[in-house]
């Protein structure tokens, strides 16, 4: 019997037998299943991984497989009929030129010159990436029967189910599309929700790549200020009224660049304000898997609290894995889901199946939770080292908020500082940093720098990089 059919048959048999076990009850060992069903250990491993992806089984490294606890009942379906109005709105008749300024993106992607420490990086250093686990997952995926066939246009069902369970709130696999990285997912969402020339509300400051996407689509970014508790609801409501926008893009968790987490009291307000404006919220949940050890329990995605289809949710595996592991998800409810699907099919056809299969292998392996724990601990250590070094050597650079997740710090420079002169001086001193200007869609309120503690090799480079930045500040300030 072929491997794939053996896996399917074993999954069916185990699924039929799950009622014999109480919640948290332990299933027979893998060795017992191999002997009983006369299949290979690989078949057993894949069958258990599929049951885990379906939420029926929980695997615990070193302990075995256990029947999962029953899921809580999904909340009642909301009313998505309002989307017919929102999706048909013309927005503004004045078209915006689709000029593209990619400088804010390329500075995060470009490797610095030799000998220059990378405080500008937008991805974790290779030593923080699960290279062995990814290589093993890709090798296993390549051997799966059918791995090189055309995948379903929406993505592999098991991978869609895995993302749906991570979002929560009754989101189902049918409401998830697999996309080729968060940037592609954001581009699809913006094109689906706003016609050229329309305003789109953005956090201020915000991710330059999103601003570039909006302008490339002919949209007009309208800034809404954030503070240490995320976007300010009163200003959000004013922006909706003043602009007529039907879309708000936000990062409620460890916002880029401020690191802010949307306060519990503001979450419902943001959804209510958007709903009353007949608008969508694009939730860029790009960094949930980069929480630090002192973050405490993370709030659920906004999409988990939204039965009415206000939120279009974007999630990605890239930041926690590798810049080249471009697998993400778009989740939405209501008629907008078909529009998202149609745009994605036209743009990319589908995400390559081997990459989707590798993602399934990776997140279903014992190496995945181990990697996330190690990554969390190392990011915490690096953040602490950079925070201490900055406060010791550069007290004049204000650090208004120390984030409990992510990979960078957001520094306010003394009034009157020339960002461009400082970043140039820093490069001469041997450290690459990112100026704050690209993070603002309008005039910035002050000069800033964003400095990453994840793109260098370790804490020794962090200490040396801050010393070099001190040299640059002595030259410019």
- pLDDT level of residue 142 (50, 70, 90 thresholds): confident
Q: Show the tokens assigned to 346.
A: 């036209």
Say whether pLDDT at 299 is over 70.
yes
Say whether pLDDT at 92 is over 70.
no
Between 428 and 104, name the one with better pLDDT: 428
Between 30 and 388, name the one with better pLDDT: 388
CATH architecture of residue range(s) 3-67: Orthogonal Bundle (1.10)
Q: How confident is the model at residue 79, as a pLDDT?
A: 72
pTM confidence score: 0.83
Angle, vertex CA 435, rays to CA 100 and CA 432, nearest 5: 105
CB burial string 283-316: b at 16+ within 10 A, e below: bbbbbbbbbbeebeeebbbbbbbbbbbbbbbbbb
Q: What ranges do the domains of the chain cover?
A: 3-67, 103-129+368-476, 133-363
- pLDDT level of residue 2 (50, 70, 90 thresholds): very low
CA separation, residue 163 to residues 17, 97, 171, 296, 328 (Å): 26, 36, 9, 22, 9
- pLDDT level of residue 253 (50, 70, 90 thresholds): very high
Q: Show the tokens assigned to 356.
A: 């989707």
- Distance (Å, rounded) from C-alpha 419 to C-alpha 34? 63
Beta bridge partners of 203: 224
Say whether pLDDT at 129 is over 80.
yes
Q: How confident is the model at residue 63, as a pLDDT?
A: 78
Q: Which residues contact 204 (CB under 8 A, 6 or more apart)?
A: 223, 224, 225, 226, 440, 441, 442
Beta bridge partners of 176: 331
Q: How confident is the model at residue 110, as a pLDDT?
A: 74
Quick: pLDDT tens for 306-329: 999 999 999 999 999 999 899 999
The CATH number of 133-363 is 3.40.640.10
Say whether pLDDT at 1 is over 80.
no
For the segment 2-7, the average pLDDT, to the nearest whole number, is 62
Mean pLDDT rounded to a whole number for the chain: 89
Least confident of 87-96, 212-221, 407-416, 425-434: 87-96
Same topology between domain 3-67 and domain 133-363: no
From the number of C-beta atoms within 10 Å of its C-beta (0-12, 13-18, 19+), residue 329 rates as: buried
Q: Say which CATH topology domain 103-129+368-476 has.
A: 3.90.1150
Quick: pLDDT tens for 381-429: 999 999 999 999 999 999 999 999 999 999 999 999 999 999 999 999 9
Between 41 and 201, name the one with better pLDDT: 201
Quick: pLDDT tens for 185-215: 999 999 999 998 899 999 999 999 999 999 9
Q: Is the peptide bond before 345 cis (omega within 30 degrees of 0)?
A: no
Say whether pLDDT at 76 is over 80.
no
Q: Find tokens 């400051």 and name the residue.
A: 205
Say whether pLDDT at 150 is over 90.
no
- pLDDT level of residue 62 (50, 70, 90 thresholds): confident
Quick: pLDDT tens for 439-456: 998 888 899 999 999 999
Least confident of 32-36, 246-250, 389-393: 32-36
- Overall size of the chain counted in residues: 477
- Distance (Å, rounded) from C-alpha 331 to C-alpha 340? 9
Q: How confident is the model at residue 48, as a pLDDT?
A: 86
- pLDDT level of residue 430 (50, 70, 90 thresholds): very high
């Amino acid at each position: 019997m072929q491997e794939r059919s053996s896996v399917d048959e074993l999954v069916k048999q185990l699924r039929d037998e799950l009622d014999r076990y109480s919640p948290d009850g332990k299933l027979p060992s893998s060795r017992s299943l191999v002997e009983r069903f006369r299949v290979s250990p690989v078949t057993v491993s894949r069958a258990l991984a599929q049951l885990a992806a379906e939420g029926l089984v929980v695997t615990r490294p070193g302990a075995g497989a256990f029947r999962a606890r029953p899921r809580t009942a999904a909340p009642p379906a909301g009313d998505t009929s309002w989307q017919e109005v929102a999706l048909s709105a013309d927005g503004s008749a004045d078209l915006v030129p689709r000029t593209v300024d990619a400088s804010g993106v390329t500075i995060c992607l470009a490797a610095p010159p030799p000998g220059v420490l990378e405080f500008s990086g937008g991805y974790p250093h290779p030593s923080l990436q699960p290279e062995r686990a990814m290589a093993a997952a890709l090798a296993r995926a390549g051997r799966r029967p059918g791995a090189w066939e055309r995948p379903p246009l929406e993505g592999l069902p098991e991978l869609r189910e895995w993302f749906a369970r991570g979002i929560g709130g009754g989101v189902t696999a049918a409401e998830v599309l697999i996309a080729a990285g968060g940037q592609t997912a954001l581009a699809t969402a913006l094109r689906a929700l706003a016609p050229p020339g329309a305003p789109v509300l953005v956090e201020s400051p915000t991710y330059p790549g999103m601003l570039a996407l909006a302008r490339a689509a002919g949209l007009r970014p309208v800034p809404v200020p954030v503070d240490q508790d995320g976007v300010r609801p009163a200003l959000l409501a004013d922006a909706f009224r003043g602009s007529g926008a039907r879309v708000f893009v936000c990062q409620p968790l460890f916002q880029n660049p401020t690191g802010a987490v949307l306060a519990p009291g503001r979450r419902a307000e943001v959804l209510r304000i958007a709903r009353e404006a007949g608008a969508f919220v694009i939730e860029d949940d790009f960094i949930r898997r980069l929480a630090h050890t002192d973050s405490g329990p993370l709030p659920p995605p906004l999409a988990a609290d939204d039965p009415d289809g206000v939120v279009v949710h974007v999630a990605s595996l890239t930041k926690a894995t590798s810049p080249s592991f471009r697998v993400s998800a778009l989740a939405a409810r209501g008629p907008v889901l078909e529009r998202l699907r149609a745009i994605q099919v036209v743009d990319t056809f589908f995400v390559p199946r081997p990459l989707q299969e590798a993602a399934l292998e990776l997140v279903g392996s014992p190496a995945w939770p181990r990697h996330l724990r190690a990554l969390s601990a190392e990011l915490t250590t690096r953040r602490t080292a950079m925070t201490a070094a900055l406060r010791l050597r550069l007290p004049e650079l204000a650090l208004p908020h120390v984030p409990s997740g992510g990979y960078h710090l957001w520094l306010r420079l003394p009034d009157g500082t020339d960002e461009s002169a400082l970043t140039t001086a820093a490069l001469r001193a041997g450290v690459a940093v990112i100026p704050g200007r690209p993070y603002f869609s309008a005039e910035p309120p002050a000069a800033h720098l964003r400095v990453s503690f994840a793109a260098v090799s370790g804490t020794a480079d962090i200490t040396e990089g801050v010393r070099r930045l001190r040299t640059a500040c002595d030259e410019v300030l």
